[in-house]
Structure 1
Amino acid sequence: MNLRGLRAFVALAEELHFTRAAARLFVAQQSLSKQISRLEAELGTPLLHRTSRTVELTSAGEVFLTAAHEVLARFDQGVAEARRAGRGERGTLRVGFVVGAALELTTHILAEFTGRHPDARVELHEFGFADPSAGLAGADTDVAFVRLPSSTHGLVVTPLFTEPCVVGVSTAHPMSRRDGVRVAELLDEPIAIGRTDDGVWRDFWTLAGHRAGGRARELVETHSQSEEVEVVAAGMACGVTPAAARRYSPHPGVRYVPIDDHPGSVVAVARRSGRPNPLVASFVDAAVTVRDRETEILRTIQGASRTD
């Protein structure tokens, strides 16, 4: 018993006419008749009543027609799914992100991607300060939203936007009443910094590039964004952070003050180098599409440091 025999039987059962069924299958009528006879022999029961004028299903034929429809539908579905998988249109995509991901663009990017690949499964994985690559360095994710500058060895990064930086200070700190500060005013302050081995990341958020080779007077290491906010609120340190902290990490004991002369932080979508699988390539393209389309959101993000 094979799929060709099943398809022959289904065509004949639906047409109830050998000539029409043979034409539908592009086979000779004699060949169709042999396939049906072979199928009946394998089943050990007649499937059709044949006369010189009519073709009718037997009770066994009616039961077998239902089963044949189910088998062929499942097989055709499997073929289609396999082809989609081969083209990279289905499967699981592991998306890593650090705190904030791509901010207000995140849901738009995910919606754009899932709209293109409704059969793909997306897994979201958040990573803390210890891994600014959001899982890419250890191959725990396939693609990720990352913040730059950080170590990008072995990664291909596609920038999405640059966000201004602010400093979080306790509301009891004299700087909390300011509308802006300069980096020079922060160099003697204790700085909160997420614990990480990524020196590029660490140097940026501790203002190392402004210290002429010197070190911060005091660093307070933290393990998470929420821990850093509590450290700042307690007056134990200041925290240099993206302007989105105003929206994503508000705290009654913290005020975020714009830093006038520190470069912004770049949010990018990143992947490992080498030829990407189709889902990864499509995700990066979806991110770029949304970035270029959502200009109002970008303007809000990039001008957020002066908004209370």
Structure 2
Amino acid sequence: MDVATQKLRNFVVVAEELNFSRAAARLFVTQQALSKQLRDLEDAVGVRLLERTTRSMALTPAGAAFLASVRESLAALDAGVAAALSASRGLSGTVRLGFVTGGALELTAPILAEFAARCPDVQLDLHETGFEDPSAGLAGGSSDVGFVRLPLALPDLDALPLFREPLVVALPAGHRLAGRARLAAEDVIDEPLAIGRTADAVWRRSWTLDERRGGRPPRVVRTTTSHTEEMQVVAAGLACAITVAGAQRYTPHPGVRYVPLTGVPASTLAVAWRRGHRSAAVDRFVAAAREVRDREGAIVAAIEAPFGDEAARTGRTS
């Protein structure tokens, strides 16, 4: 049986209204044309679908059974058409989101929720990368988009900054500097450091305060693969580490004292992608991140100024 979907849709409207006049008005057709289409459908199916008199109309048992199946079939067809359109626009399938420790901090959840609302048919595949890959999978192609800390040694990287976060020094609780309210780069550049184990020299130099060393190499005594491992090294009294202020909220440790670091550039957290590899779904993700960043000004302000205005100002110094 080959029945046009429009005849099926018209049958559903007639079954809902049980009145040709009202059904015809909803469908913007004449009653005569609608009546003929219904007769043609009954002929094609081979059974009477509606009992009609001059005063009333009702579904036959066959019509009621047919109506349920028609509704299900039309819903499946409409879903298939929508899926095809989404796929053609790149708005279905999977987006691989990589992120470094902490992701986008308190902006992470609202960004993911905003993207889900914009692209309900796109599945987000989230994976965290350690210090060995500060590009969050973008360098090797295992991510389509990522939350990263700039700068990185990726010449074809495009990024949308979300916030700039002040730095802190993570010190062993018993360290001679642990009681200080603030530290400057000059206070810590000669201290033994724990630093992430990575081949990205640009990223590595930024976390060893290379620009403040006057050519002196850092005293790297431990290389680590994750922030958690790094804090364990610090708590054991083996080294200190340069990290972001959010570590105080996300990874507090009784053996670690976080002291604000002033007079150095803040850490830029960005949503990033590889140039030439930005799909329609990645476009939507970036747009969602921009919308949340601009809407959630109070969250951004709290991230950027966790120690008050003075620390925020010094943290922004370039």
Greater Cα offset, 113-122 or 167-176: 113-122
Distance 2:113 2:23 in 1: 45
Distance 1:255 1:5 in 2: 73
Q: What amino acid is aligned across from residue 182 of structure 1 in structure 2?
A: A
The alpha-carbon deviation at position 105 of structure 1 amounts to 2.0
Q: What amino acid is aligned across from residue 102 of structure 1 in structure 2?
A: A
- 1:232 maps to 2:234: yes
Partner of 2:293: 291
Q: In the alignment, which of 121, 124, 127 is matched to residue 123 of structure 2?
A: 121
Instruction: Give CA deviations for 1:188-226 in whole Å, capped at 9, x if unaligned.
Output: 322101111111111111223333444223331111111
Partner of 1:133: 135
Match of 1:176, SS?
coil
The alpha-carbon deviation at position 48 of structure 1 amounts to 4.8
The alpha-carbon deviation at position 93 of structure 1 amounts to 3.0
Check conservation: 1:171, 1:253, Cα contact below 8 A: yes
- 1:26 maps to 2:26: no
Q: 1:44 to 1:209 in 2, by over 3 A?
A: same
Check conservation: 1:166, 1:305, Cα contact below 8 A: no
The RMSD of aligned alpha carbons is 3.0
Partner of 2:195: 193
Greater Cα offset, 222-231 or 129-138: 129-138
Q: What amino acid is aligned across from residue 302 of structure 1 in structure 2?
A: E
The alpha-carbon deviation at position 146 of structure 1 amounts to 0.6
Q: What amino acid is aligned across from residue 254 of structure 2 in structure 1?
A: P
Q: 1:43 to 1:215 in 2, by over 3 A?
A: same
Greater Cα offset, 52-61 or 96-105: 52-61
Question: How many residue pairs were aligned?
Answer: 306
Instruction: Give CA deviations for 1:25-69 in whole Å, capped at 9, x if unaligned.
Output: 637947963x55554454444445677887665432332222222
Greater Cα offset, 41-50 or 201-210: 41-50
Greater Cα offset, 19-28 or 72-81: 19-28
Q: What amino acid is aligned across from residue 26 of structure 1 in structure 2?
A: V
The alpha-carbon deviation at position 80 of structure 1 amounts to 3.4
The alpha-carbon deviation at position 76 of structure 1 amounts to 2.4
Partner of 2:70: 68
- 1:160 maps to 2:162: yes
Check conservation: 1:96, 1:143, Cα contact below 8 A: yes
Distance 2:129 2:152 in 1: 14
Match of 1:113, SS?
helix
Q: 1:95 to 1:14 in 2, by over 3 A?
A: same
Partner of 1:282: 284
Match of 2:160, SS?
strand
Greater Cα offset, 203-212 or 49-58: 49-58
Distance 1:51 1:108 in 2: 58
Partner of 1:261: 263
Check conservation: 1:97, 1:145, Cα contact below 8 A: yes
Distance 1:30 1:201 in 2: 72
Q: 1:133 to 1:18 in 2, by over 3 A?
A: same
Q: TM-score, normalised by structure 2?
A: 0.82
Gaps of 5+ in 2: 312-318
Distance 1:7 1:127 in 2: 51
Partner of 2:246: 244
Partner of 1:83: 85
Distance 1:266 1:65 in 2: 58
Q: 1:286 to 1:17 in 2, by over 3 A?
A: closer
Q: 1:212 to 1:70 in 2, by over 3 A?
A: same
Give me the identity figure in percent: 50
Q: 1:243 to 1:48 in 2, by over 3 A?
A: closer
Q: What amino acid is aligned across from residue 222 of structure 2 in structure 1?
A: V
Instruction: Give CA deviations for 1:101-156 in whole Å, capped at 9, x if unaligned.
Output: 12222223223333334444333221111111112222322221110122232221
- 1:183 maps to 2:180: no
Match of 1:178, SS?
coil
